[in-house]
Copies of this chain bind each other. A is one copy, B any other.
């Protein structure tokens, strides 16, 4: 066995395998057997470390939330000029969603299940207070500097920023089919990145 009594590593391998499996097949479609096999672990160990499939799903989801928020904090948006900061957040969000498609499918799954896992999580809300405050700060500074229009709610804005990329990427299979267009080519992705940034920056601009 790969698995020579290193509990920390075993746990980690299981979580990584589970994240990939849940991302690929959703919560309902994920198979406990496949997770165990990919983790090179005994199936019993999933239950030992994570109690049951639902709890394992929550762990995977928390792990990905923690990851995106940590990456976001590294942007250091507080110290940038407001328009630059906003541009940076838009670009980061797009890029993160593009490079971490598993995050999108995990969120879809969780919402299909009406958020019943995340509702039990203490960690997840904690992670998000800074995000809102940071964005609020950017908006306030931009408004004060006269570059952003007034009255924009940071939560609403964040949802718009995320929505721009989310819908494009999460629904890329149906969109490609209904619009008969390759959305994932290098040039299509570059164009969408430009479009997203233009949309958001124009939308908040002071008239």
The interface of chain A, by Cβ under 8 A from chain B, is 25-26, 28-29, 65, 105, 107-115, 118-119, 121, 124-125, 127-128, 132, 149, 153, 155-156, 159-160, 162-168, 170-181, 191-192, 195-196, 198-200, 202-205, 207
Contacts and interface: CB of A to CB of B under 8 A. Distances in A.
A187 to B, nearest CB: 12
The 5 lowest CB-CB distance pairs between A and B, nearest first, are A115-B173, A163-B167, A203-B203, A163-B163, A28-B29
B128 A178 contact: yes
Contact of A195 (B25, B156, B181): B156
A167 B162 contact: yes
Given A156-B195, A199-B203, A173 B25 contact: no
Contact of A132 (B132, B176, B179): B179
Contacts of A192: 156
By CB atoms of chain B within 10 A, which of A107, A109, A179 has the most?
A179
A183 to B, nearest CB: 9
Nearest to A113: B173
Contacts of A28: 25-26, 28-29
